[in-house]
Amino acid sequence: MSVLPHHLVATSLSSSTSNFFAQNSFDVVRTQVVSAPFRKMGVCKCVATSPTEQTAYKTQVSRNGNIAKLQAGYLFPEIGRRKAAHMLKHPDAQVISLGIGDTTEPIPEVITSAMAKRALALSTVEGYSGYGAEQGEKQLRARLASTFYGNLGIEEDDIFVSDGAKSDISRLQVCVLFGSNVTMAVQDPSYPAYVDSSVIMGQTGQFQKDVEKFGKIEYMKCTPENDFFPDLSKVSRTDIIFFCSPNNPTGSAASREQLIQLVKFAKDNGSIIIYDSAYAMYVSGDTPKSIFEIPGAKEVAIETASFSKYAGFTGVRLGWTVVPKELKYSDGFPVAKDFNRIVCTGFNGASNIAQAGGLACLSPEGLEIIVDTFTSLGFKVYGGKHAPYVWVHFPGQSSWDVFSEILEKTHVVTTPGSGFGPAGEGFVRVSAFGHRDNVLEACRRFKELYK
Amino acid sequence: MSMFSTCNFIPHTILLQSRASLATPNERLATVRCTKVVRNVNLEKLRHNYLLGIGDTTEPIPDIITSNMAEALRKAIAESFYKGLGVKDAEVFVSDGSQCDISRLQAGDFLDETLKYQNIEYMTCGPHNNFFPELSTTSRTDIIFFCSPNNPTGHAASREQLTQLVEFARKNGSIIVYDSAYSVYITDGSPRSIYEIPGARECAIEISSFSKIAGFTGVRLGWTVVPDELYYANKVPVINDFDRIVCTCFNGASSIAQAGGLACLSPDGFKAVMSVVEYYMENAKILVETFSSLGLVVYGGVNAPYVWVHFPGSRSWDIFSEILKKAHIITVPGSGFGPGGEGYIRVTAFGQRENILEASKRLRTIYLS
């Protein structure tokens, strides 16, 4: 199943002081000749430079010092590295991956056949298309607007099609956060890309090891005690507020009342919310799916979304970002104009084939099939209600220790909560993505371990 | 109306606006509410109109490409384009196109502590210096962007020129970002990769794309090579940081596009896409002949699908307007590519043969009669 992402590598471990970046696993790999599907060279470089490197030619170009602030590799490649090391150590173990939130179930055929059709059409004169609009194909933008924002006053031209929310988060960073003293807040815990991309852009201070936070970021604690919604009365004003709901990793979805508070908070402070609705389709009941369901949100929020979890498009790469016309900088300039500029300069549109797939997802047939797939996932197995993640509490324990123990003893890969922020310490995230049999088997093993 | 459009998109005929212009006809100004977030002033520094390359491919992708599935694209790229040059699979990063990787290199890797770039050094390339900059009068910069074969001039740097460039970079401790997007168009034996030059592995990154190789302008696929031996001043390998950027700000090129890329690099696939490349270069030949027949000095068209026509003493926007008005042909004014482009027009060789021939006919009719 899992071919490790080609970009998997262990990076910058020399800058990490954590004990977790296991000398053990490193040693295991080093002593064996392996053909693991990850960058062997990368693993071997995770130590102080060798004598050869020290005498090698160097350019006189300064490194981007911001990258050095990052404590380790991006979280998920690191998990992948550990998983690979584990598999080498236990070649006969049936490892089950409930770590990275990667979808596993095949994409319905009505969608893949649309992509195949588009691909083959590229071999015909009539069907060939070259550069597309960087903002996305008109038909797809229109269909996104009507499907998800029909009665919310969001129009086709407010929508920018992307190759996935992850890329757009960085483009938004460049747009609204780059090159100035713009401040940001994130939920704690939260999806690591918000913080990491911000560090790279130079928006943060150094990592403060005692509190496990980067300087200059406002961390909004989300815990069982506050029902996983930050106490806004204790949150300092920042220019930008990243807010993901339903939440990765906690699985919690903000209620209408909570989002009304959030919008008011942003309005009072003149802030911009970047609302990540990647898991909106997992919401049930009256829980809002879009920030734009809240009156006034169009003047304070950007919403980013993705086909990844919606249609299994994690590898196909398709998403979108909504920047309403009403959203303006302090000088009255529309944010959408600058975002459009970024998109035109640093991007060249999502793949036309992926966009054809997206269109098929939003056809009546596509929508029906996708809804059925979700309800059949049956979260009752875990109790994950509004998101495909289960956030499990291990009070008083280090989440990397729990991760390691679960991996060692049950051969199940999870994700340590501290990877999502300091308030994730003591928790482990278990992803609900997986073949039903694997998920049931993993549950069985957990019960064995913890009975 | 555009007859000689290099692609099928109407918006491409409008050069002064971004491709799908952000229409804000119905700004709701009833209550203009602003946030208190200060706009990124750097964006204000950008030129108002981003002059997009209209180098869009037109010919369909050969069947063999679109009907195949495979994997191990990095390996195939290393073997297909860098055989014998020591580029390893692990040094190849697959992207959704060079346009994106250029930004990823800029935003992540080449930022110094003050969040400012060095002032830009423009290296003039013209007939007077055989389209290769006078390096003895070029100031040291950290990064040198170098595109060869060149968009827009069509010039492919010679081995001697690239050897000089690498020497210059090494002497100054600079990093070359070498754009080889058009390398498969080379017909005269000029180097296709910077890594053909000894010493380049320690001072150069190479970016490339399937856009112009295989008509993947809409499919979105490219790659960047970052050699293991490329180090920052503080001995940190550039590849480590680029990998971190790619892991944090990107999630890979579409798996479907990658499957297509792999098919392009199969023996049959590569042969098929090269026949389309040859088709475009035949177009280029026709264009070179046409403009030459008008008594103009023409550059390029030999190693790249671009023809660079000189109109000494004229303003390129004026020439552009005249050709548009009189012949209904869209070209690109050279000044859009930098001050060294003033007085030139770029004509792309992408297009259906009938359109190329029709354009030639019109130009001859108008200017030779």
- Return the structure tokens found at B270: 């590569």
Q: Would you say residue A4 lies in a domain?
A: no
User: In angstroms, rounded to a whole number, what is the distance separating the alpha carbons of residues A446 and B236?
Assistant: 42
For residues B22-40, one letter each, b for 16 or more C-beta atoms within 10 angstroms of the residue's C-beta and e for the rest, the string is beeeeeeeeeeebbebebb
Same domain membership, residue A207 and residue A133: yes
Q: Does B118 touch chain A (CB under 8 A)?
A: no
Does the beta-carbon distance from A201 to B244 stay under 8 Å? Answer: no
User: What's residue B113's pLDDT?
Assistant: 42
- Intervals of CATH 3.40.640.10 along chain B: 4-264
Strand order in the sheet with A427-431: A389-393, A427-431, A415-416
| Range A196-205 average pLDDT | 86
- Beta pairing, strands A207-208 & B175-179: unpaired
User: What's residue A106's pLDDT?
Assistant: 86
Contact A69, A63 (CB under 8 A): no
Contact A182, A414 (CB under 8 A): no
Count of domains for chain A: 2
The band of B57, judged by pLDDT with boundaries at 50, 70 and 90, is: low
| Range A180-197 average pLDDT | 89
Mutate: best of A2, A50, A58, A66, partner B, most B CBs <10 A: A58
| Range A22-38 average pLDDT | 31
User: What's residue B56's pLDDT?
Assistant: 66
Contact A118, A353 (CB under 8 A): yes
**In the predicted structure, residue A211 carries a pLDDT above the cut 50:** yes
Of B294, B289, B362, nearest to B3 by C-alpha is B362
Does the beta-carbon distance from A62 to B59 stay under 8 Å? Answer: no
Residue bearing the bigger pLDDT, A96 or B178: B178
Q: A200 CA to chain B: closest CA distance, Å?
A: 6
Average pLDDT of chain A? 82
Does the beta-carbon distance from A123 to B251 stay under 8 Å? Answer: no
User: What's residue B38's pLDDT?
Assistant: 54
**In the predicted structure, residue A430 carries a pLDDT above the cut 80:** yes
Q: Does A70 touch chain B (CB under 8 A)?
A: yes
| Closest chain B residue to A180, measured at CA | B40
Contact B98, B179 (CB under 8 A): yes
| Range A345-369 average pLDDT | 88
| B-proximal residues of A, 20-39, CB under 8 Å | 39
Q: What is the pLDDT of residues A94-139, one digit of tens each?
A: 998 888 888 888 888 999 999 999 999 999 999 999 998 999 999 9
Residue bearing the bigger pLDDT, A385 or B276: B276
User: In angstroms, rounded to a whole number, what is the distance separating the alpha carbons of residues A228 and B355?
Assistant: 62
Same domain membership, residue A321 and residue A199: yes
Q: B277 CA to chain A: closest CA distance, Å?
A: 15
| Range A308-337 average pLDDT | 93
User: What's residue A13's pLDDT?
Assistant: 31
Q: How many Cα atoms are found within 13 Å in the side-chain-facing hemisphere of A322? A: 30
Q: Which domain holds residue A340?
A: 110-367
- Return the structure tokens found at A206: 């150094």
Of A367, A398, A427, the residue that ends a domain is A367
Does the beta-carbon distance from B142 to A201 stay under 8 Å? Answer: no
Q: What percent of chain A has pLDDT over 70?
A: 83
- Intervals of CATH 3.90.1150.10 along chain B: 269-368
Residue bearing the bigger pLDDT, A185 or A46: A185
Q: Does B251 touch chain A (CB under 8 A)?
A: yes
- Return the structure tokens found at B352: 């259906």
Does the beta-carbon distance from A40 to B90 stay under 8 Å? Answer: yes
How is A271-288 classified by DSSP, letter by letter? -EEEEE-TTGGG--TT--
Integer CA distances (angstroms), B342 to A227, B150, B158, B310, B325, in order: 63, 16, 24, 9, 20
Residue bearing the bigger pLDDT, B298 or B250: B298
Least confident of A232-241, A272-281, A382-391, B51-60: B51-60
Question: If residue A265 lies in a helix (H) or strand (E), which one and from where to where?
Answer: helix A256-269
Judged by phi (left if over 0) then psi (alpha if -120 to 50, else beta), residue B216 lies in alpha
Burial of A151 (0-12, 13-18, 19+ CB in 10 A): exposed
User: What's residue B174's pLDDT?
Assistant: 94
User: In angstroms, rounded to a whole number, what is the distance separating the alpha carbons of residues B18 and A336?
Assistant: 13
| Range B68-93 average pLDDT | 84
Q: Would you say residue A1 lies in a domain?
A: no
Same domain membership, residue A384 and residue A277: no
For the beta carbon of residue B292, count every other beta carbon within 10 angstroms: 14
Does the beta-carbon distance from A64 to B19 stay under 8 Å? Answer: no
Instruction: Closest CB to B38: pick one of A124, A125, A180.
Output: A180
**In the predicted structure, residue A444 carries a pLDDT above the cut 90:** no
Integer CA distances (angstroms), A15 to A12, A42, A208, in order: 6, 15, 13
Same domain membership, residue A148 and residue A60: no
Rg value, chain B, Cα = 21
Same domain membership, residue A340 and residue A266: yes
User: In angstroms, rounded to a whole number, what is the distance separating the alpha carbons of residues A220 and A89?
Assistant: 39
Q: What is the pLDDT of residues A258-275, one digit of tens each?
A: 999 999 999 999 999 999
Same domain membership, residue A146 and residue A19: no
Does the beta-carbon distance from A63 to B33 stay under 8 Å? Answer: no
- Return the structure tokens found at B357: 């021939």
Q: Spell out the alpha helix ranges (H) of A99-175.
A: 109-121, 138-149, 165-172
Architecture of domain B4-264 in this structure: 3-Layer(aba) Sandwich (3.40)
Q: Does B138 touch chain A (CB under 8 A)?
A: no
Mutate: best of B88, B220, B280, partner A, most A CBs <10 A: B220
Q: Does B219 touch chain A (CB under 8 A)?
A: yes
Q: Does A345 touch chain B (CB under 8 A)?
A: yes
The band of B42, judged by pLDDT with boundaries at 50, 70 and 90, is: low
The band of A168, judged by pLDDT with boundaries at 50, 70 and 90, is: very high
- Beta pairing, strands A207-208 & A213-214: antiparallel
| B-proximal residues of A, 117-146, CB under 8 Å | 119-120, 122-125, 127-135, 138
User: What's residue A2's pLDDT?
Assistant: 36
* Contacting residues of B for A128, CB less than 8 Å apart: 8, 58-61, 215
Q: Does B56 touch chain A (CB under 8 A)?
A: yes
| Closest chain A residue to B210, measured at CA | A130
Same domain membership, residue A347 and residue A224: yes
Q: Would you say residue A3 lies in a domain?
A: no
3-state secondary structure of B171: helix
Same domain membership, residue A68 and residue A116: no
**According to the per-residue pLDDT averaged within each range, which of A54-58, A401-405, A435-439, B64-68 is highest?**
A401-405
Contact A61, A28 (CB under 8 A): no
**In the predicted structure, residue A437 carries a pLDDT above the cut 90:** no
Same domain membership, residue A398 and residue A329: no
- Beta pairing, strands B143-147 & B175-179: parallel
User: What's residue A100's pLDDT?
Assistant: 82
The band of A441, judged by pLDDT with boundaries at 50, 70 and 90, is: confident
- Where in B279-352 does DSSP place strands (E)? 297-300, 306-310, 332-333, 344-348
| Closest chain B residue to A348, measured at CA | B99
Instruction: Closest CB to A325: pick one of B24, B234, B237.
Output: B24
Q: Does B33 touch chain A (CB under 8 A)?
A: yes
User: What's residue B140's pLDDT?
Assistant: 92
Q: Which residues have a Cβ under 8 Å from the Cβ of A190 and sit 6 or more positions away?
A: A242, A244, A247, A248, A249, A420, A421
**In the predicted structure, residue B50 carries a pLDDT above the cut 70:** no
User: What's residue B345's pLDDT?
Assistant: 96
User: In angstroms, rounded to a whole number, what is the distance separating the alpha carbons of residues B273 and B279?
Assistant: 10
Q: What angle do CA A66, A68, A72 make, to 5 degrees?
A: 120
| Range B317-336 average pLDDT | 94
Does the beta-carbon distance from B107 to A350 stay under 8 Å? Answer: no
Q: Would you say residue A2 lies in a domain?
A: no
Q: What is the pLDDT of residues A340-353, one digit of tens each?
A: 998 998 899 999 99
**In the predicted structure, residue A324 carries a pLDDT above the cut 90:** yes
Reported ipTM: the value is 0.78
Same domain membership, residue A291 and residue A180: yes
Q: B95 CA to chain A: closest CA distance, Å?
A: 11
User: What's residue A176's pLDDT?
Assistant: 82
* Contacting residues of A for B26, CB less than 8 Å apart: 325
Write the CATH number for A153. Answer: 3.40.640.10
For residues B210-248, one letter each, b for 16 or more C-beta atoms within 10 angstroms of the residue's C-beta and e for the rest, the string is bbbbbbbbbbbbbbbbbbbbbbbeeebbbbbbbbbbbbb
The band of A445, judged by pLDDT with boundaries at 50, 70 and 90, is: confident
The band of B6, judged by pLDDT with boundaries at 50, 70 and 90, is: very low
**In the predicted structure, residue B14 carries a pLDDT above the cut 70:** no
Of B100, B97, B103, B332, nearest to B218 by C-alpha is B97
Q: A206 CA to chain B: closest CA distance, Å?
A: 13
| B-proximal residues of A, 234-263, CB under 8 Å | 239-240
Residue bearing the bigger pLDDT, B69 or A384: A384
**In the predicted structure, residue B69 carries a pLDDT above the cut 50:** no
**In the predicted structure, residue B297 carries a pLDDT above the cut 60:** yes
Does the beta-carbon distance from B230 to A130 stay under 8 Å? Answer: no
**In the predicted structure, residue B63 carries a pLDDT above the cut 60:** no
Q: What share of chain B is helix, strand, coil (3-state, %, to 5)?
A: 40, 10, 45
* Contacting residues of A for B19, CB less than 8 Å apart: 131, 133-134, 344
Instruction: Closest CB to B23: pick one of A56, A157, A202.
Output: A157
Q: Look up residue B3 and give its DSSP letter.
A: S
User: In angstroms, rounded to a whole number, what is the distance separating the alpha carbons of residues A204 and A213?
Assistant: 10
Of A316, A341, A367, the residue that ends a domain is A367
In CATH terms, is domain B269-368 a member of 3.90.1150.10?
yes
Chain A to chain B, count of Cβ pairs less than 8 Å apart?
A: 345
Contact B193, B183 (CB under 8 A): yes
Of A351, A367, A383, the residue that ends a domain is A367
Instruction: Closest CB to A7: pick one of B88, B230, B252.
Output: B252
Same domain membership, residue A410 and residue A435: yes
User: What's residue A16's pLDDT?
Assistant: 32
Write the CATH number for A425. Answer: 3.90.1150.10
The band of A72, judged by pLDDT with boundaries at 50, 70 and 90, is: confident
Q: Would you say residue A321 lies in a domain?
A: yes
Q: What is the pLDDT of residues B106-165, one digit of tens each?
A: 765 555 444 344 478 889 999 999 999 999 999 999 999 999 999 999 999 999 999 999
Same domain membership, residue A321 and residue A420: no
**In the predicted structure, residue A50 carries a pLDDT above the cut 60:** no
Does the beta-carbon distance from B174 to A200 stay under 8 Å? Answer: no
Does the beta-carbon distance from A124 to B228 stay under 8 Å? Answer: no
Residue bearing the bigger pLDDT, A62 or A157: A157
User: What's residue A58's pLDDT?
Assistant: 86
Of A300, A234, A325, A311, nearest to A278 by C-alpha is A311
Q: Does B203 touch chain A (CB under 8 A)?
A: yes
User: What's residue A212's pLDDT?
Assistant: 87
User: What's residue B39's pLDDT?
Assistant: 55
Does the beta-carbon distance from A315 to B254 stay under 8 Å? Answer: yes
Q: Would you say residue A192 lies in a domain?
A: yes
